[in-house]
Amino acid sequence: MLTTEHLDAYLKAMENRDIEATKDHMAADVVLRSPIVPTPFEGKENVVRVLTQLLDTVDAFQPKLLLREGREFVSVFTIEFNEHILDGMDHMHLNNEGLIDRMTMVWRPLLSIVAVQQKLAPKLGGKAMVLVPAGSQTA
């Protein structure tokens, strides 16, 4: 029977900002899709790098709720960044060993996503985005 042992420990490590402790709970071939850059991050080393930069950038990560359907999980959380509070969900999948092998991050509101993305994307080799109000002239 599949347990949530790895998932629970991973979420606790994220809440405690302990990236080292997250490593044992991810599959070597884990894939992370995030709102920060359009290209997925593949492999444990790359995902750990993203999580490290994320927790170094934001002020707080607070898990709130965990929903489950078979091997699929949704973790609901909040992120605090400067004056921004983001509502987020990670859709995660567990492999046969109970390790996280897929994660898709979903955040809101857009203004707060862009604020985090502007700080985080350059640290990960991406480009910072800006919001352009409707009707604005763009070059």
**Run of H or E residues at 5:** helix 5-15
Is the overall model pTM greater than 0.85, yes or no? yes
pLDDT in tens, the chain (139 residues): 677 888 889 989 999 999 999 999 999 999 999 999 889 999 999 999 999 999 999 999 999 999 999 999 999 999 999 999 999 999 999 999 999 999 999 999 999 999 999 999 999 989 999 988 888 876 5
Helical spans, DSSP H, in 2-43: 5-15, 19-22
CATH class of the structural domain 5-124: alpha beta
